[in-house]
Structure 1
């Protein structure tokens, strides 16, 4: 009889673990936006240096996540990082907006930041943002400081 009680207990504990794991999965996918089913549209940008970002990196506007980097390739002619990113379709960007790779701080990760312009005309789906600023390398800045190469 004790063997049957152990089996029932093991089944109940296994079911509880499975339920918690399923709940955690749905919570995590909702928090990260992986489960978001909202409509999006694609845009592109070309960076001299896309150091610190990858597919899945957040795209933010005024500190709020509005999209995600969906593709990165190297242009073999210009040697620039061609990035594609998706934006929520309720976000309409003026056509003089800029895009930059920003850092959350000294030890934080990087993200793509959109700096909105003031033009009355807007970018459309599939357009390329031409005003870009690539990643700033902390090591390069430190080396310039140490070597005294403070050219302005």
Structure 2
């Protein structure tokens, strides 16, 4: 078979551009897990949270989800996280699983408390708020809208 040299050069060029794109995407995506100290939190439902997901404080990634497991006694989902060593949070910090927009994934949002004592490596966050899906919110709105007047227990 005779190959046209132009086809070979164009094929090599396409492969080179693809390799450059992959290197660029990998270096800018910041896909690595945050190394730091471990924390955990328990939730009744975690939605679409995945291992490798972000842990954010004030919108800035300060950690990542390192694992998920089911507590056999309480049947709650336990989320293991790793936080940057430079970020020491108060013991009354609250963890909320929230969504990153309609099409975005879930992440753990940390809301720092005011306690003087700080969380230590391996501690569990005591204050958590479960993931609330869009379907749950729509269901609540429909339920409230279909209630007869005065059925909510409020003033008539």
TM-score in same-fold range (> 0.5): yes
Which of 106, 115, 118 lines up with 1:110 in the alignment?
Answer: 106
What displacement does 1:80 show?
Answer: 0.4
The correspondence of residues 57-68 of structure 1 with structure 2, limited to 5 A, is: 57-68=53-64
Cα shift readout 1:14-39 (whole Å, capped 9, x = no counterpart): 43333333322332222232257x64
- Structure 1 gaps of 5+ residues are none
Moved over 4 A (4+): 149-152
Quote the Cα distance in structure 1 between the aligned partners of 2:93 and 2:29.
26
TM-score, normalised by the number of residues in structure 2: 0.78
Which of 76, 87, 94 lines up with 1:91 in the alignment?
Answer: 87
1:123 maps to what in 2? 119
- Give the paired residue count: 147
Counterpart check, 1:31 vs 2:31? no
Quote the Cα distance in structure 2 between the aligned partners of 1:59 and 1:35.
13
TM-score, normalised by the number of residues in structure 1: 0.80
Task: Tell whether the 8 Å contact from 2:35 to 2:82 is kept in structure 1 after alignment.
Answer: no
Cα shift readout 1:61-101 (whole Å, capped 9, x = no counterpart): 10111221121111122110011112222222111111101
Counterpart check, 1:133 vs 2:129? yes
- Structure 2 gaps of 5+ residues are none
Which of 13, 18, 24 lines up with 1:16 in the alignment?
Answer: 13
Superposed CA RMSD in Å reads 2.5
